[in-house]
Amino acid sequence: MVTLQVSAANTIQVARNLPAALTFDKPYDTLTVLDVKKAIAAKNPQFYPARQKLTLKGDKKALSDETLLKDAGVADGSEVAVKDLGPQISWRTVFLIEYVGPLVIHPLFYHFPRLFFGGPVQHSTLQKYVYGAVMLHFVKRELETIFVHRFSHGTMPFSNIFKNSAHYHFLSGVLLSWSVYSPTFAANSPWIRGTIRENPTFLWSCLAVFLFAELSNLRTHITLRNLRPPGTTKRAIPQGYGFSLVSCPNYFFETLAWTSIAVMTGSYAAWLFLAVSTYQMAVWAVKKHRNYKKEFGKEYPRSRKAMIPFVF
């Protein structure tokens, strides 16, 4: 029999009803951090495991769910601190909400221009291509979220959904739609007529780059999925298409796809979304690249860059 002392790391209401101690009948060698969280949740159902951050008393580093207590240094009679992370929402749901925004916003601007521009818009070939490309991109992202992605972290704080969604709903949704589907890009606009933006070769070239990047991005996501067995957070060194050059080819191909849209349109909104997205993905890529090298050490290929081949 194993007994642990429990204390609250913050004073949020849901964490005030913690049991002073927990007793386990399971052998000590088999107990995990998740077992402790489940035992706490059994005493207080509102305080479900995903909402808990478990640490050793006096330490701020979170203990991973799959970690055995013996490996975490939690001995029989030890005291653990539990912090309330607040209401949680699954990452899968977060992604679905983020990507559905542009799928609603773009059709509204494209099909109902009178509501936003005060009159009809005779859509140019460029507008038709951009509309199709954007819809394809976000339908793909939704399908990947449902059928492809496996998440190492199950949930995130619910309050973050608004910040995360704003990036897609406003920048790639409202702002991009307002710019690209406006009369400025219409078939009879000086911005289009007689310029490269109505040249079929130019438009098809940009679209070809976009489609190549989208398919390549999908391929790298499938590679990442196959590295992780279902229901686990186990990681391995990714190999194959794109990964021979960078740690995060999915981010590189995502950047390439949106670069083709920005070049095709010349829209300030497309360039702004590209800049913000690329910066954020670069931050994530550097962090993942560093974690790969730390986790796999000498086994990890030294020639790989983080996100952009031969650059960084």
Q: What is the pLDDT of residue 179?
A: 98
Q: Which two tokens stand for residue 144?
A: 């990947």
The answer to whether residues 64 and 104 belong to one domain is no
The answer to whether residues 277 and 191 belong to one domain is yes
Other C-beta atoms closer than 10 Å to the C-beta of 307 total 25
- Domain termination site, one of 19, 51, 86: 86
- Domain termination site, one of 35, 55, 86: 86
Mean pLDDT computed over 45-73: 88
Number of residues in the chain: 312
Q: What is the pLDDT of residue 220?
A: 97
Give the angle subtended at the CA of 283 by the CAs of 239 and 230, to the nearest 5°.
45
Mean pLDDT computed over 127-139: 98
In this structure, the strands spanning 21-24 and 52-56 are unpaired
> Is 26 exposed, middle or buried, given 0-12, 13-18 or 19+ CB atoms closer than 10 A?
exposed
The answer to whether residues 210 and 250 belong to one domain is yes
**30: which residues sit within 8 A by CB, 6+ positions away?**
68
Place of tokens 């309330």: 84
- CA dist 70 and 56 (Å) reads 12
The answer to whether residues 53 and 155 belong to one domain is no
- CA dist 140 and 130 (Å) reads 15
pLDDT at 66 exceeding the cut of 90: no
The answer to whether residues 201 and 114 belong to one domain is yes
The answer to whether residues 76 and 93 belong to one domain is no
Using one digit for the tens of pLDDT, what is the confidence trace for 142-189? 999 999 998 877 788 888 888 889 999 999 999 999 999 999 999 999
Q: What is the pLDDT of residue 200?
A: 98
Tell me if 304 is assigned to some domain.
no
Q: What is the pLDDT of residue 307?
A: 98
Q: What is the pLDDT of residue 258?
A: 98
Share above pLDDT 70 across residues of the chain, in percent, rounded to a whole number? 96
Beta-bridge partners for 83: 53
The answer to whether residues 246 and 142 belong to one domain is yes
Tell me if 99 is assigned to some domain.
yes
Range in 52-66, 113-127, 163-177, 203-217 with the lowest mean pLDDT: 52-66
Q: What is the pLDDT of residue 196?
A: 97
The answer to whether residues 101 and 26 belong to one domain is no
Tell me if 309 is assigned to some domain.
no
- CA dist 143 and 141 (Å) reads 5
Q: Which two tokens stand for residue 129?
A: 């291509």
103 vs 66 pLDDT, higher one? 103
Q: What is the pLDDT of residue 14?
A: 61
In this structure, the strands spanning 79-84 and 2-8 are parallel
Rank 79-88, 90-99, 198-207 by mean pLDDT and report only the highest. Answer: 198-207
Number of domains in the chain: 2
pLDDT band at 10 (very low <50, low <70, confident <90, very high): confident
Q: What is the pLDDT of residue 255?
A: 98
Nearest to 301 by CA among 149, 282, 309, 252: 309
pLDDT at 15 exceeding the cut of 70: no
pLDDT band at 57 (very low <50, low <70, confident <90, very high): confident
Q: What is the pLDDT of residue 198?
A: 96
Amino acid at 216: S
For residue 49, give its domain range. Answer: 2-86
Q: What is the pLDDT of residue 125?
A: 98
pLDDT band at 208 (very low <50, low <70, confident <90, very high): very high
The overall average pLDDT reported for the chain is 92
Q: Which two tokens stand for residue 45?
A: 């159902």
- Domain termination site, one of 41, 61, 86: 86
Tell me if 234 is assigned to some domain.
yes
Q: What is the pLDDT of residue 2?
A: 86
Tell me if 135 is assigned to some domain.
yes
The answer to whether residues 255 and 108 belong to one domain is yes
Using one digit for the tens of pLDDT, what is the confidence trace for 272-298? 999 999 999 999 999 999 999 999 999
Q: What is the pLDDT of residue 231?
A: 61
The answer to whether residues 218 and 82 belong to one domain is no
In this structure, the strands spanning 88-90 and 79-84 are unpaired
User: The domain that contains 61 carries what CATH number?
Assistant: 3.10.20.90
3-state per-residue secondary structure call for the chain? CEEEEEEECCCCHHHCCCCCEEEECCCHHHCEHHHHHHHHHHHCCCCCHHHEEEEECCCCCCCCCCCEHHHHCCCCCCEEEEEECCCEEEHHHHHHHHHHHHHHHHHHHHHCHHHHHCCCCCCCHHHHHHHHHHHHHHHHHHHHHHHCCCCCCCEEECCHHHHHHHHHHHHHHHHHHHHHCCHHHCCCCCCCCCCHHHCHHHHHHHHHHHHHHHHHHHHHHHHHHHHCCCCCCCCCCCCCCCCCCECCHHHHHHHHHHHHHHHHHCCHHHHHHHHHHHHHHHHHHHHHHHHHHHHHHHHCCCCCECCCCCCC
Place of tokens 């207590």: 69
Tell me if 38 is assigned to some domain.
yes
pLDDT at 131 exceeding the cut of 90: yes
Q: What is the pLDDT of residue 183?
A: 98
The answer to whether residues 130 and 59 belong to one domain is no
Tell me if 310 is assigned to some domain.
no
Using one digit for the tens of pLDDT, what is the confidence trace for 114-129? 999 999 999 999 999 9
Using one digit for the tens of pLDDT, what is the confidence trace for 229-253? 666 666 789 999 999 999 999 999 9
Tell me if 106 is assigned to some domain.
yes
The answer to whether residues 27 and 113 belong to one domain is no
**C-alpha to C-alpha distances, 153 to 1, 78, 122, 168, nearest whole angstrom:** 31, 27, 46, 21
